[in-house]
Amino acid sequence: MISYVDVCCGLAWGDEAKGKIVAYLAKSGRYDYVCRWAGGNNAGHTVHVNNIQYVTHLVPSGIFYDIPSIIGPGCVINEESFKKEIEYLQNSGFNTGLVKISPKAHVVSDKHIEEDKNKYYKTQGTTAKGIAPCYRDKFGRIGTRAENITSLKPYMWDEKLSGAVLCEGAQGFWLDIDYGNYPYVTSSTTLPYGACSLGFSPRLIRTIYGAAKMYDTRSGTDPDFPETLLSNPDLLCIADIGQEYGATTGRRRKTNWLNIDKLIQAINTSGTTQLIMSKGDVLEEANLYRLIFDSVLVECKNINEMKETINEVLRNSCPLLLNIVYSTSPETVTGLDSEKS
């Protein structure tokens, strides 16, 4: 029997430190399962454990703390990439016997990848991992499920959850298939309600952790992130300090000032109750403190004034939001309300 579910989702365009947040929560020992509900190896989650950096693309971050880690029915799996990730985790000393795959998850074929490279990668700047063609075939009812692939059978999940469950999102709110700048989006649901595809009632969701940075970044093609951003010296400075390169593709991310108008919508639509904002230290090192509010660029004097501005705006605009935490550590997130429970 499931006692409660907590969900961590991205509130921007991906790379909001979801992996860090989920790993920190998993380290607490309060969870019996950590689950992914969408996407495939087009995601990249960077986690620091004992000052060592690890990057995963499909396996949930519970693996770093010996927690059963479930790849849900809404995910898509490339066999070769999955095996490489399992080998990488095994060689790093983690118990990959805890990794399970929903038999209902769909399989990304070489044909899907080739189509992606030749079509979507060129026109929409995708990760070229075959994700969109695989989801298309899933919904066209001509896809292949994980349960039909011999090499994946040892990892089959019994589709049972119990105790406390933590769900780890992939990508971010503004890459959602419905809410993003279509067609420059991902091919799955990035919002917390998508986690219910793992087989639990939405009424069991207790806390929604929303992840964002104190500036915006975006990989891939999107008219909302024009090429001119790559020639702005202040934004390039932030990108260089923040090492803004995609964990999956290695591409330089386009960087822009925090759009708090979009953040408000993402918080309210996702139902975020705990907001974690990372990389304020990057702005401090660059000594640049700007954000977009009511479509106007606002300049702050220092990091404290910027935080005060963000806090005031969000508390006046986001009635479900209970707590705002600012995190500069790559490994810990102190100040979450759940630490007291």
The model's pLDDT over 66-81, given as tens digits with 9 standing for 90+, comes to: 999 999 999 999 999 9
Active-site residue, 48 included: no
Residue 110 lies in a domain: yes
Do 157 and 102 contact (CB within 8 A), yes or no?
yes
Structure confidence at residue 249 (pLDDT) = 67
Chain centroid to CA 23: how far? 12
Total structural domains within the chain:
1
Do 271 and 282 contact (CB within 8 A), yes or no?
no
Residue 89 lies in a domain: yes
Residue 79 lies in a domain: yes
Tokens found for residue 83: 């095996």
Give pTM, 2 decimals: 0.95
Active-site residue, 57 included: no
Whole domain around residue 47: which residue ranges?
A: 2-334
Kindly report the CATH number assigned to the domain that includes residue 154: 3.40.440.10
Euclidean distance between the first and final Cα of the chain, in Å?
Answer: 20
Split at pLDDT 50, 70, 90, the class of 332 is confident
The model's pLDDT over 167-180, given as tens digits with 9 standing for 90+, comes to: 999 999 999 999 99
Residue 339 lies in a domain: no
- Percent of the chain at pLDDT > 90 equals 88
Q: Report which of residues 235 and 330 the model is more confident about.
A: 235
Catalytic annotation, pick one of 45, 57, 106, 112: 45
Residue 341 lies in a domain: no
Residue 62 lies in a domain: yes
Catalytic annotation, pick one of 15, 116, 216, 222: 15
Residue 195 lies in a domain: yes
Residues 224-249, mean pLDDT to the nearest whole number: 90
Distance CA 286, CA 237 (A): 7
Residue 340 lies in a domain: no
Do 169 and 18 contact (CB within 8 A), yes or no?
yes
